[in-house]
Amino acid sequence: MPNRNLSTIEKILLTTVTTAGVAFTIAAVKDQKEQNRNEAVAEKNHINLRRPSSKYEQYIKRPLDFILSTGAAVVLSPVLLINSMIVKNKLGSPVLFTQERPGKIDPATGKESIFKLYKFRTMTDEKDEKGKLLPDEKRLTQFGAWLRSTSLDELPELFNIIKGDMAIIGPRPQLVRDMVFMTDKQRQRHSVRPGLSGLAQVRGRNAISWEGKLNTDLEYIKKISFREDARIIFETIKKVLVKEGITEEGQATAEDFGDYLLKKGKITDKEYKVKQIEAKEILKGKESSTLDKDDVDLVYMKEVLPGKMKWNLESLKKFNFLREIGMMFKTVGAVGKE
């Protein structure tokens, strides 16, 4: 075969393919090491981890996510820069909105890891006279609504994928205060990395019921395949272009799972308040993500305590301990008088 000089375009393509191949190999090796380490940690802590459902999930999905998200971040860097400048001009600093979300289950604890999600800001920080943030519908600007409708606000999540917090396709990361209301079965959705998009998003996004979304997430993790991920990516692009299912009808943002369950009468007011406290405890870094019966009673006790004090689970326990000691001395004193 005769030798010939490669054109500039051919050299660029060859360099790109070679670089991508090397990067894929490095990412694949790193991912396998992480999987082996997680399995060893889980076994040591007697935690039953979910096994990959396919060779694609085990060997290809994570390195492919890394390559595609890195490439997308480079190609879309002008869009990211322009968006940053517009958000800065219209909403001020910070440009990014960060929020702690439940991620993949930690093999050391058997509970969801908490990671910081990145998005472009779409709301102002307007507060009422008491210093509390105004409702979402009053803080969501016209520009912010447009960002959401085009899904451009979610572009910074590419960096979550690069870091390994998320995948391109997977169950969408919900709020911690949503997670605590999920059943053990529903929380199995956290046995995989949360995704930039997912099966539930192409079936209706925020326009379908909470049960529908969670059941669809469980359906997805049963068999993760390249064909299904590719189909979801193309369906997502189509949904974004027609701006379908961005929010629930009559609401500026999606309804919280707890609010939904309370409105439907599926939980009591007491259960709702307890779970909200539980979510706050998790965000503070508490290892326990469940409250026992005594804790439930303590949390609900705060309904009759001074409203101006900032009560949490620990302070409630201390309060109850002192209260019990006081009652004990009162009983001893009464017996002494007899």
13-65 pLDDT per residue, tens: 888 889 989 999 999 999 999 999 999 999 999 999 999 999 999 999 999 99
**Residues 217, 223, 229, 231, Cα dihedral to 10°:** -90
Query: What digits encode the pLDDT tens for the residues 192-225?
Result: 999 999 999 998 766 789 999 999 999 999 999 9
Q: Are 102 and 112 in contact (CB under 8 A)?
A: yes
Q: What is the mean pLDDT of residues 105-114?
A: 94
pLDDT (0 to 100) of residue 250: 47
71 contact partners, CB below 8 Å, separation of at least 6: 20
Share of the chain above pLDDT 90, in %: 58
Q: Which of 188, 192, 149 lies closest to 53 in space, CA to CA?
A: 192
Query: What digits encode the pLDDT tens for the residues 135-193?
Result: 888 888 899 999 988 889 999 999 999 999 999 999 999 999 999 999 999 999 999 99
Q: Does position 126 have pLDDT exceeding 90, yes or no? A: no
Share of the chain above pLDDT 70, in %: 79
Measured between alpha carbons, how far is 229 from 169 in angstroms, rounded to an integer? Answer: 6
